[in-house]
A and B are shown apart, each in its own frame.
Chain A
Amino acid sequence: GENVEQHPSTLSVQEGDSAVIKCTYSDSASNYFPWYKQELGKRPQLIIDIRSNVGEKKDQRIAVTLNKTAKHFSLHITETQPEDSAVYFCAANRGSTLGRLYFGRGTQLTVWP
């Protein structure tokens, strides 16, 4: 199948708290897992990505973990700020071409000051 499941669909946290968004995928051939942030009316912007030969990757307050056996991957945002409020999408590639992506349905993250 081509489904990428993403949870939760909405997430509200207090400023300074951590936020975790989880995704599962079904295509065993997927080997590239990007995360995109989309503000209202704007383009999706790549914030972090991970390849299947890596279990974890970190970039300042953002980290992504991958469990290839279980076909799970997660986005972790620490010390959240109001500017982190947006819709976050996980994705996994289809087949061998990295640019053909299955997207999750998105998580609306709201960070309250």
Chain B
Amino acid sequence: NAGVMQNPRHLVRRRGQEARLRCSPMKGHSHVYWYRQLPEEGLKFMVYLQKENIIDESGMPKERFSAEFPKEGPSILRIQQVVRGDSAAYFCASSPDVNSEKLFFGSGTQLSVL
């Protein structure tokens, strides 16, 4: 049973480009959470999705950031027109249902904006 898979592991973008981060949850998990971690800080909640639904996007910046979790395929976190301040590690986690307490994190995507 593969764990939460994220790709790419490292992503380098120039300012103004778009970044697309992918997350495939554990088999049987239909709930996905995205977190951002700045250097030497804790993780910050961004968005919570179920299949085809955004449940809570209160932690995600209103502009340039979007997320989706389609019926088929991985969850995508999209950052348009990236700026240097977007450089961070982005972690995805999944759980089987809303009442499941244990989050399983992926290995993260390290985004570097030049």
| A-to-B contact residues, CB < 8 Å | 4, 6, 32, 34, 42-46, 49, 51, 89, 91, 94, 97-106
CB-based contact A99/B33 at 8 Å: yes
Select one of B45, B48, B93 contacting A102, CB under 8 A: B45
CB-based contact B99/A98 at 8 Å: yes
User: Which residues from chain B contact A34 at a C-beta distance below 8 Å?
Assistant: 101-103
Closest 6 CB pairs of A and B: A103-B42, A98-B101, A43-B105, A103-B43, A105-B42, A43-B107
With both beta carbons as reference points, the residue of chain A lying nearest to B98 in the complex is identified as A97
Query: In whole angstroms, how far apart are the Cα atoms of A6 and B112 in the complex?
Result: 28
CB-based contact A43/B106 at 8 Å: yes
User: Which residues from chain A contact B69 at a C-beta distance below 8 Å?
Assistant: none
CB-based contact B105/A98 at 8 Å: no
The contact sample of 21 A-B pairs, CB cut-off 8 A, is: A32-B101, A34-B102, A43-B107, A44-B43, A46-B104, A49-B101, A97-B98, A98-B95, A98-B98, A98-B101, A99-B31, A99-B33, A99-B100, A99-B103, A100-B45, A100-B48, A101-B43, A101-B103, A103-B35, A105-B40, A105-B41
Within 8 A of A (CB), among B58-114: 91, 93, 95, 98-108
Does B56 lie at the interface of the complex (its beta carbon under 8 Å from any beta carbon of A)? yes
Q: How far is the CB of A48 from chain B (nearest CB, A)?
A: 11
Within 8 A of A (CB), among B1-40: 31, 33, 35, 40
Query: In whole angstroms, how far apart are the Cα atoms of A94 and B41 in the complex?
Result: 18
With both beta carbons as reference points, the residue of chain B lying nearest to A51 in the complex is identified as B101
Q: How far is the CB of B32 from chain A (nearest CB, A)?
A: 9
Select one of A45, A94, A106 contacting B40, CB under 8 A: A106
